[in-house]
Amino acid sequence: MSTAVVWFRKCLRLHDNPALFQVCEDENIKHILPIYILDSEIVGKDFEKLSPNRIRFLFESLVDLDNKISSCSSNTLLIFHGTPQDVVKSLSIGFKNQLKSFASDYCSEPHGRKVNLDISNLLHEQSGTVCHFHPATHTILDLEKTVSQPRFKNPKSMKDIEKIFSLTFSNDDQGFFQIPNPLPEPKVIKSITPDFQADVLAKNFNGEIFSTESLKTKFSKLGFFRSTSESYYFKGGETEALQRLDSKVSKQTDYVNSFRKPKTSSTNSPQNPLEPSTTGLSPYIAIGSLSVRNLWQAVEKANRSGPHSRPPESLHGQLLFREMFYLLSLSVPNWDSDQDNSMCKKINWGRKDQSKLNAWIDGQTGFPLIDALMRQLDTTGWMHHLGRHAVSCFLTRGQLWQHWKEGRDVFDKKLLDCDWALNNANWLWLSGVAPFSMPYFRLYNPCPDGKSSLNVDAVDAGFIRHWVPELKNFPVKYIYEPHLAPSHVQIEAECIIGKDYPAPMLDRKAAAKENLAQFKASLN
């Protein structure tokens, strides 16, 4: 009997899933096997490449996906840990001539593109197996098709990416891009054959095969679920993603229409230090629990109701930036490097200083905003974009003069919304080395006040008090620079700077002056 394998890759959802939709609609396919691959190149042989928060969020997303699949079929999600190439080899052997289709979503990363090619070649040798990696699943644009256009030029601004969209999608009479509608969830997912046994695949697979239950046991033994309640603020899964889309976007038309990203707060909601002042949907978009088209459509619906903000500051503007960075990550060689990268200025960052890096990573720099943000990242796996501006500037050209790739790698391991294309783009941008960066000499003050473009809470400073509890009794006047507080204030606050909380690890102004001189010298 003809069988199709659907590889849920960067599309951990049933809604707007072209690969799943295709095989469900194909009358020649009688059975479907849904799989997920914990690619050892990405997660590590012992899952060491992801933080416990990222592992937990991924696991919750897989459990939710498994539950949704089970609700419309007798299938369960089969989870492999190994290389995708080995997985496909085991499938080809296990299903013999019955494997008629292998469907997944396109991946634009260098490793992902190699996997695409390897799997296509492997399945080409398996007579009768059709392999299709659906484009425009994780993005709105078909990336390869767009980059291959004769008039394509690397976009470096909002104007550039809007032009690319205008050449790809027509505008309606209200000026909105006519983006394709999201695909519906399938009502029924065809089940795998009743006699199917995963053990048959295991015999020919150089790795491990899990159900969600056995994966939970594995992760528990590795200690990934020993976290605080704050670590679970963002719950993984399509169900949670759609609920957040509804509550933060669909039901908040005024919020959407007045949204201006630079005006949102880096220190989260004043009422809740765990709730972003933005939508908080980026983790779900990154892992694929929420379709980017669904978000675009929800924002458009709100925008059609009346006056609204516009790109680059609007929510549509943020999605356009995302598309821009995805295009660049595909079209620019060595996107993740400072060598032979046309989008990266060559800066002499000097030697790696592990003590400086450790203080930054652990939130022990003596600069409360930086420390609060890094502790938030470690605990929850999330940080506001202006917070990312602050900590990246501090690590690189601002104070610590460390290579941007050091920060990039920390974010890659810890951020729930980490994404290869976007993470590299943001570090190129925020370290001042990209053509689309702000001028390198414009630095963020790590000790901001209420007038700062970082938009910190300078009234109650609840964010600082929450994440840096050593300073919970400090008056707002000194809480962003506690070392300036007179000794009697420190005593009354029960926090002596240099004893109960670190003194600043350096003179921020002197370091900034020296670093800007070094940056300028590298450009000459």
pLDDT digits (tens, 9 = 90+) for 85-126: 999 999 988 888 789 999 999 999 999 999 999 999 999 887
- What band does 522 get if pLDDT is binned at 50, 70 and 90? very high
SS3 327: helix
Residue 366 clears pLDDT 80, i.e. is over it: yes
| For residue 420, pLDDT beyond 90 | yes
- In the prediction, which pLDDT does 1 show? 64
Q: What is the pLDDT of residue 193?
A: 85
User: Torsion-angle region of residue 511: left (phi > 0), alpha (psi -120 to 50) or beta?
Assistant: alpha
Determine the pLDDT at residue 102: 96
In 3D, which of 347, 364, 355, 363 has the Cα closest to residue 405?
347
- Structure confidence by residue, pLDDT tens digits, 423-458: 999 999 999 999 999 899 999 999 999 899 999 999
Has residue 477 got a pLDDT over 90? yes
Q: What is the fold, at CATH topology level, of the domain defined by 141-178+238-331?
A: 1.25.40
Return the minimum-mean-pLDDT range out of 10-24, 178-192, 266-280, 323-337.
Answer: 266-280
- DSSP letter for 269, please: B
Tell if the pTM clears 0.75, that is, is over it.
Answer: yes
Can you list the alpha helix ranges (DSSP code H) found in 304-353? 315-331
Assess contact for 312 and 156: CB atoms under 8 A: no
Residue 128 has pLDDT above 80, yes or no: no
- CATH placement of domain 1-135+210-224: 3.40.50.620
Res 15: pLDDT: 98
Partners of 46 in the β-ladder: none
Q: How many whole angstroms separate alpha carbon 326 and alpha carbon 119?
A: 23
Q: What is the CATH number of domain 354-523?
A: 1.10.579.10
Span 481-503, mean pLDDT?
Answer: 98
| Alpha carbon distance 282, 278 (integer Å) | 10
Domain extents for the chain?
1-135+210-224, 141-178+238-331, 354-523
513: its two tokens: 């002056």
Residue positions counted in the chain: 524
pLDDT per residue as tens digits for the range 369-382: 999 999 999 999 99
pLDDT at 232: 83
CA-closest candidate to residue 77, choices 61, 58, 62, 56: 62
- What pLDDT, on a 0 to 100 scale, did the predictor assign at position 197? 80
> In the prediction, which pLDDT does 524 show?
83
